[in-house]
Amino acid sequence: MRFILAALAAMAGSSLACPMFVEFFPDPTEVSDTDGEFVEIRLDDFRADSVFVGMDQKPPLGLPFPRSANRLLLVHDSTLCPVRDSLACGGLDSYALPNSRESGWVLRSGSCSDSVVLPSPKAGKALQRIGETDEWVPSEPTPGVANPDYELGIRDCGIRLLRAEWREGVGWSLRGMLGGCDSAKAGLEYLDMSSAGNWKRREVSLSGTFDVEIPGRGAAWVRMTLPEDAAPGNDTLDRIFVPDGLSPVSITEIHHCPSEPMPEWVEIYNASRYALPLSRLRLCGRGGTVGGESDSLQPYGSLLLTKDSASLRESLGFKDVRIAQVSMGYLNNVAGNVSLCLDSVAVDSVAWTKNTVACPAGFNPLYGRAENTPGFQRAGSASLEEPLSYKLSSRVVSRRGPPLRVSVVSESEVSLRLLDSAGHGVWSAHVGAMSASWMEVPVMEHCGLGVCYVSFSVGNFEKVVGIVVRP
């Protein structure tokens, strides 16, 4: 296909003389027709006062010609139009794109005109024009941006990852390749997810096949971005790289054969200091991602995955556990396995047999023992280091002695609570990040004689320490 386009480009030149239709999306499947269908017109450097678009025998739509854009996207709802400096949006008004028959379209602007006959579309596929011909092919929709596989004269500098190699004690060595250009400057951002640092940023010069070194102690989140061009889909490399055994997120509890009516569920846990987008997490081979672009699994946070979130929440009986509904299928009661994927790469995998635990019990994969602590991580159960350290002035407190003082250090804010002998909270305070100062805990004012508890928590991680109160 690229060879054909190259030949056409050689005959047609590097830019278009007149506006032309390049893409139609008549039959979206993931959203309604009103929200999803569009018509895309390529303008390039042409300028006129107005542009008219007509379908079949309907009265044409008249729009002012965009002054600064090189593409015009016609949609039903302008709030859903992508925001780009080079893109203008117009309304389809009462036009409904036919999704089961051919349709005829006419475009007029200034002294230019374009007329096309669209074939019957396929559900969920856009119709993309091949170069400047009258041929149309089904393709993935690319609203508001060029499709370099089919359009002529497109400046498209892309970046592609060839290899990622982990070297312990050094970091990541990445090899990539530019396509469509000989050289480019790129913005590089990276985050060492095994440390307490922030994002590091610098500019790098790339040419042909290139190598980039990313220092770090474990998992690294890397973003490499080229200047935006007409086809921005390949301008960015955005990946989380994970060494074997050092994943920031893992499976911490599995209930593959619970008592009815409770549905099966899998618990995942983010043991890092950074929020992880749920759109990058999935149970490998078991449906889609566990959340959308705006959803995150917070630092030291847990998430239960199940195919019926309402039923699971009712069975658990409490509301402070986060649950996501996913298409996970069924877990084998006798022998099975489940894997967790981050950026489509498996970072954790758990298998079980009939000898792991006796149904209906669930189990902790780290120890292979029965466990039922939904949304809660026992101390020492997470695969990475604990998010806080603490000191107590004493484990025994009396009315005649000095008060209990505690010191807690964490890279995140810590919630400090005092619990009575029944585990009920009777006092609380917050300790700021990286605060090593000592804080007095009013034990004698809130606890009776006997056993009392001090709780330290960050996110969904909690450490509980018992103390004794004497006369």
**Residue 365 tokens, joined:** 């994969």
Residue 4 pLDDT more than 50?
no
Look at residue 45 in the predicted model and tell me its pLDDT. Answer: 87
CB 138 within 8 A of CB 125: yes
Give the span between the Cα atoms of 385 and 354, in whole angstroms: 31
Residue 385: the pLDDT is: 60
To the nearest whole number, what is the mean pLDDT of the chain? Answer: 89
Residue 18's CB is within 10 A of a number of other CB atoms, namely 18
Chain segment 113-165, per-residue pLDDT in tens? 999 999 999 999 999 999 999 999 999 999 999 998 899 988 899 999 999 99
Tell me, what's the pLDDT at 2? 41
Q: Are 312 and 262 in contact (CB under 8 A)?
A: yes
Q: Which two tokens stand for residue 292?
A: 């959308």
The pair of structure tokens assigned to 92 is 């389809």
Cα(218)–Cα(329) distance, integer angstroms: 32
Confidence of residue 16 (pLDDT cuts 50, 70, 90): low
Supply angle C-alpha 108, 111, 116, rounded to 5: 35
- In sequence order, the β-bridge partners of residue 249 are 270
Cis status, amide bond into 360, omega within 30 of 0: yes
Q: Which pLDDT belongs to residue 8?
A: 43
Distance separating alpha carbons of residues 468 and 444, to the nearest angstrom: 11
- What the block records as the tokens of 58 is 């309907």
**Which is more confidently placed, 134 or 459?**
134
The answer on pLDDT for 11 being more than 70 is no
Decide if pLDDT at 171 tops 80: yes
Buried-exposed string 246-274: b where 16+ CB fall within 10 A, e elsewhere? bbbbbbbbbbbbbeeebbbbbbbbbbbbb
Q: How much of the chain is helix, strand and coil, in % rounded to 5?
A: 10, 45, 50
Q: Is 237 in a helix, a strand, or coil?
A: strand
pTM for the whole structure = 0.72
| The residue to which tokens 């004794």 are assigned | 468
How many angstroms separate the CA atoms of 157 and 235, rounded?
A: 7
Cβ pair 454, 406 in contact under 8 A: yes
pLDDT value for 352: 94
Query: 3-class SS at 305?
Result: strand
User: Where is average pLDDT lowest: 197-211, 239-253, 379-393?
Assistant: 379-393
The residue among 188, 214, 192, 191 whose CA lies nearest residue 201 is 188
Q: Is the pLDDT of residue 169 over 90?
A: no
CA–CA separation, 183 vs 350, rounded Å? Answer: 44
* Length of the chain in terms of residues written: 471
Distinct helix (H) and strand (E) counts, the chain: 4, 36
Q: How far, CA to CA in Å, does 356 sit from each of 229, 333, 452?
A: 54, 11, 35
- Residue 1 pLDDT grade (very low, low, confident, very high; cuts 50, 70, 90): very low
Contact 82, 119 (CB under 8 A): no
For residue 180, give the DSSP letter.
Answer: S
At 378, is the pLDDT very low, low, confident or very high (cuts 50, 70, 90)? low
Q: What percent of the chain has pLDDT over 90?
A: 63
- Reference 454, options 411, 401, 394, 413; nearest CA is 394
**How many whole angstroms separate alpha carbon 376 and alpha carbon 267?**
9
DSSP 56: T
Beta strands in 197-301 (DSSP E): 200-207, 209-215, 220-225, 236-241, 249-255, 265-270, 276-277, 281-283, 296-297
Kindly give the residue spans of alpha helices, DSSP state H, lying in 280-320. Answer: 309-316
| 117 vs 399, more confident | 117
Q: Residue 5 above 50 pLDDT?
A: no
Mean pLDDT of 26-38: 92
Each residue of 417-429: pLDDT tens digit?
Answer: 999 988 889 999 9
Q: Quick one: average pLDDT of 456-462? A: 78
Q: Token pair of 174, please?
A: 């990445």
Residue 3: its pLDDT value, please? 39
- Residue-wise pLDDT for 348-366, tens only, equals 999 999 999 999 999 999 8
Choice among 144-148, 267-271, 383-387, 458-462 with the minimum mean pLDDT: 383-387
Three-class SS of residue 97? coil
Nearest to 92 by CA among 108, 71, 73: 73
Q: Give pLDDT, residue 465.
A: 87
Residue in this structure with the two tokens 């396995």, named with its chain if needed: 337
Short-list 204, 203, 206, 201, CA closest to 176: 206
Asked if pLDDT for residue 17 goes beyond 90, the answer is: no
Does the pLDDT of residue 318 top 90, yes or no?
no
Which of 53-57, 78-82, 341-345, 434-438 is predicted with the least confidence, judged by mean pLDDT?
434-438
Say how many CA atoms lie within 13 Å of 166 toward its Cβ.
Answer: 14
- What amino acid occupies position 225? T
